[in-house]
Structure 1
Amino acid sequence: KCYIVPALNLAICWKHFLNSYSYSYILFESQSAGNLLDFNLLGLLREYTPEIICCNSLFFNLNNSGPATYSLNNSYKFISYLTGLIEGDGTIIVPKTERSYKGKLYYPSIQIVFHLKDLPLALLIQKNLGFGSLIRKKGVNAYTLNINDKNGILKLVNLLNGNMRTPKTYSLYNLIDWLNIKNPNLNLTKLPLKTDALKNDAWLSGMIESDGHFSVRTTMSGKYPKIECKFELSQRKKDHLGYNNEKFLADIAEFLNVSLKNIRENTPHPQYRLRTLNLESNLILVNYLNEYPLFGAKFLDLSNWTEILNLFNPKFKYSKENIDKVLILKSEMNDKRTIFTWNHLNKFYNLDY
């Protein structure tokens, strides 16, 4: 099935519920009617954006005191993809004190931020995990998938441990220390950073999902129009704990055969940036993403970007027809996109314990 979601209207009122079985449903109400939505295939109705969705379903059993056990063939892509997504747009929060000055208990949490337009992806990841609350962030176009219950935290720690590639793993280590102190019987072990080749799993696609950007530059002046397809990914040089992000970004740059540059050096938060500037690097990226695809709205931008890239061949002619096609495809990308199709989510990875 193919589901089309035009631009979201936040003024619609709604209600929701989830059942406790393997399929999840949400009831949305407008002023005129209610509609029942089956998320088994994850359809999303026009102009409805829920404020919070709580997931009550549990689709697996896991020993909380040991490493995760899963079917390698069915789950390794999901786990590596999710890890890259969390290392890009996730936060691991570990309380520094047990209680607030008012006596309120503090608990750890793991949060993943999704752009508003990526709500279908957020819902599918939540459903696949079987835990977490999806909350609309006030004042910004984003949802947060928040995991803070004990079982969810332990299961997610076991999924991330040993699969991370960035300094964010030190935040995971802090969380493991906190869990071991609270329950010494857990005896959780801190596993090292993953060093396998990037081409072997979906980690990079998760990182690109969160922080990558596809763009097309068109210059119409001169005898021949100039058309450039570029991908870039940038990160702060140092994260909030002071750890340097150069190593994992250099690995990505090496994989794509591009340079890692220093940018914004005179600002409070200088950055590293890698950018594809030639056909060879772009094709490396396309081949990788064919094997380990994107699943958010960025998948649609990549599709347009790739279609433009495929025009660059020895037989390409700078005809008006071809130029118009490039300009139309460009006009539908990134912030200019108003229509979203989600049939690609039918190929999303499953987490099978």
Structure 2
Amino acid sequence: MRYKNKKFKHAIYKNKFILGSYLAGLWEGDGCVLMKQQQHFKPTISITFHKNQGVFAEKLLQTFSSQCKEKVGSVHYHKTRQACYLNIYSKEGLLNFINLVNGKLRTPKASQMDVVINWLIKQGVNIKKLPLCSAPINEDAWLTGFIDADGSFGIRQTFKKEKIKQQTECEFILVQRMYYPKTGKSYFEIFSKIADYFCVKLNTLKARNPKALDQYRIKISSAKSKKILRAYLDIFPLLSSKYLDFKGWSEVDNLMIKKHHYTDDGAIKITKIKKAMNNCRTEFNWDHLDL
């Protein structure tokens, strides 16, 4: 399935196939399935966000709610941690989420959905879990959701010293554990596909903490790989505040393409953009969610 019309943009919310693939990637990056004891075990599908992504989490909840007749869940803000959680727990909400992501998941974490599907079957719902998606990475929004969860855009600067030119690097990093701890299944296949798509090498990171897991790491910094990434995200845009980071990152990349990063004015502009990205960001514009 191909989407070449740039008018598509953030209408991602209005297309269930694209929304489903995006949610699959987002959940596989930062989601889980929780079980709560009531009269019986009832599952909750949860996605974790930094608290400054609360507007985005609320927008997703609004999107789910508009597709269902009953309350589907809530956004919970942690009292001490810098986090909020989008929780889907009603029967209709769980079924809607499963219908959206079923057949679009790509990682070993997909096995968690068995809990939700088995619970729905016990509630009399006729549903079957579909196999992992094997479609090319660039044909849906799964990677966009995964990037919103686990990707980061960075800018490196090396300032002038005597006759040495100003050096700037735009880089994108995507990391995830090497295997799913509950089953021991590897993420190698999906990360190899991502690395191949961007024409980069798949690297590994050894965990310093003995309790942590080793990770796969993909780094994009070459002109060719950045062009591929930008073309993909122009078709399937990011939805979290990383969309704003990506816009700034792309602006710096454009300056580099024109060789303006070697000029004093260019260096000053890049420094300003860098200081307003990622953890340094203090202003959040969510207009892109309404397009």
Compute the TM-score of the two structures, normalised by the length of structure 2: 0.86
Q: Distance in 2 between matches of 1:337 and 1:273?
A: 24
Matched to 2:26, the amino acid is L
Partner in structure 2 of residue 208 of structure 1: 147
1:173 deviation in Å?
2.1
Residues 1:324 and 2:268 are matched in the alignment: yes
Q: Secondary structure at the match of 2:127?
A: coil
1:50-78 Cα distance to aligned partner (Å, 9 max, x none): xxxxxxxxxxxxxxxxxxxxxx9832221
Residues 1:120 and 2:55 are matched in the alignment: yes
1:125-155 Cα distance to aligned partner (Å, 9 max, x none): 1011012111102321111011122221122
Partner in structure 2 of residue 231 of structure 1: 172
Instruction: Identify the match of residue 109 of structure 1 among 41, 44, 53.
Output: 44
Partner in structure 2 of residue 245 of structure 1: 187
Compute the TM-score of the two structures, normalised by the length of structure 1: 0.72
Identity %: 35
Q: Distance in 2 between matches of 1:176 and 1:106?
A: 13
Instruction: Identify the match of residue 197 of structure 1 among 133, 136, 142.
Output: 136
More helix per residue: 2
Q: Secondary structure at the match of 1:190?
A: coil
CA contact (8 A) 1:94 1:178 kept: no
CA contact (8 A) 2:176 2:217 kept: yes
CA contact (8 A) 2:25 2:105 kept: yes
- Mark the CA change 1:215 to 1:317 in structure 2 (over 3 Å): closer, same or farther: closer
Instruction: Identify the match of residue 336 of structure 1 among 261, 280, 283.
Output: 280
Instruction: Identify the match of residue 19 of structure 2 among 54, 68, 78.
Output: 78
Instruction: Identify the match of residue 158 of structure 2 among 219, 225, 242.
Output: 219
Residues 1:153 and 2:94 are matched in the alignment: yes
- Mark the CA change 1:336 to 1:265 in structure 2 (over 3 Å): closer, same or farther: closer
- Mark the CA change 1:80 to 1:330 in structure 2 (over 3 Å): closer, same or farther: same
Structure 2, unaligned runs of 5 or more: 1-12, 66-71
State the number of aligned residues. Answer: 268
1:104 deviation in Å?
5.8
Matched to 2:283, the amino acid is I
Matched to 1:86, the amino acid is W
Matched to 2:199, the amino acid is N
Cα RMSD of the aligned pairs, angstroms, is: 2.0
Partner in structure 2 of residue 261 of structure 1: 203
CA contact (8 A) 1:94 1:175 kept: no
CA contact (8 A) 1:77 1:201 kept: yes
Q: Distance in 2 between matches of 1:76 and 1:258?
A: 28
Matches within 5 A, 1:4-43: none
Q: Distance in 1 between matches of 2:196 and 2:209?
A: 26
Q: Secondary structure at the match of 2:75?
A: strand
Q: Distance in 2 between matches of 1:154 and 1:198?
A: 26
Partner in structure 2 of residue 302 of structure 1: 246
